[in-house]
Amino acid sequence: MLLLKRLSLFVLLLFAVGAASAQSQAPFWDEVQAIKAYDKVYQQQPHPIVFVGSSSIRKWEHLQVAFGAYNVMNRGIGGAYVNDIIRYLDELVFVYQPRQIVLYVGENDIVMPDETPDTILNRTIRLFKAIRAKMPEVPIVYIGFKPSPSRERFVEKTVATNALIRKFITAQSKAVFVDVFTPMMKDGKMMPELFVSDMLHMNAQGYAIWEKAVRPYLFKP
């Protein structure tokens, strides 16, 4: 009987170690752990506006300056896909009990060859519903995909996906779709002057357009 108990305990320990190992192999697990460690050292203001998503959020370095009066928090992860944000909603969003959420994620999904506007829409709907399941009343600001010159060959797919997501978001309560695609175009062409050298991530000029577009929808404390 004692041997059986020891074997059972050993199996349980192996399972726990295996689960932890599998979790550590999940995309962006290390980045999320770094954020959690940061939060243990630096106390965060209660009920912030959480900006979450991919690198266009993470690289918004002047977010705190631009929206200093709004108590904002940057929880972007470079390279994230929609499913990554779904996976880490507890760590990146819910733990802060935000009074508002600003989303920008899915542009990286656009470039995947097997993804279509419909599949990206469906994934975005799952993200939205996952938020609503825990926070049914929190206002959500969804920033539509930007026109990145390095991804110009995907522009039709980007426009089509934006249209589908806009239709979905605008039909929801306490949710708004913010168009940044239109103001980042000029005479029907992309504007490389709004981007750094990789033509994917924005410079200060690009973020200035985002700030102007998003500001009217933010709630002050």
User: Do 78 and 55 meet the contact criterion of CB atoms below 8 Å apart?
Assistant: yes
Beta bridge partners of 176: 141
Question: Would residue 32 count as lying in a domain?
Answer: no
How much is the average pLDDT of 20-49? Answer: 85
| CB-neighbour burial class of residue 214 (10 A; exposed 0-12, middle 13-18, buried 19+) | buried
Q: Is 118 among the domain residues?
A: yes
The neighbouring-strand residues paired with 177 are 142
| pLDDT higher than 60, residue 5 | no
Total structural domains in the chain? 1
Structure tokens of 146? 């930007």
pLDDT tens for 8-18 read: 433 343 344 34
Q: 78-132: per-residue pLDDT in tens?
A: 999 999 999 999 999 999 999 999 999 999 999 999 999 999 999 999 999 999 9
Q: Is residue 127 part of a domain?
A: yes
Range of the domain at 147: 49-217
Contact by Cβ (8 Å): 161, 112: no
Q: Is 212 inside any structural domain?
A: yes
Taking the model in full, what pTM does it have?
Answer: 0.88
Assigned domain for 186 exists: yes
Is 2 a domain residue? no
Cβ atoms within 10 Å, residue 139 = 18
**What CATH number does the domain containing 173 carry?**
3.40.50.1110
Cβ atoms within 10 Å, residue 218:
17
The residues with which 52 forms a beta bridge, in sequence order, are: 75, 103
According to DSSP, the β-strands at 189-190 and 185-186 are: antiparallel
Question: Tens digits of per-residue pLDDT, 127-141?
Answer: 999 999 999 999 999
For the beta sheet containing 49-53, the strands, ordered from the edge strand earlier in sequence to the opposite edge, are 72-76, 49-53, 100-104, 140-143, 175-178
Are residues 192 and 201 in contact, defined by beta-carbon separation less than 8 angstroms? no
Domain assignment present for 168:
yes
Output b/e per residue, 51-84; b: 16+ Cβ within 10 A: bbbbbbbbbbeebeebbeebbbbbbbbeebbbeb
What span, in angstroms and rounded, lies between the C-alpha atoms of 100 and 103? Answer: 10
Instruction: Return the DSSP state at 202.
Output: B
Helix and strand counts by DSSP (H, E) for the chain: 10, 7
Percentage of the chain lying above the pLDDT 90 cut: 86
Given this model, what pLDDT does residue 25 score? 75
Task: Please check whether residue 104 is in contact with residue 63, taking contact to mean a CB–CB distance below 8 angstroms.
Answer: no
pLDDT for 93 equals 98
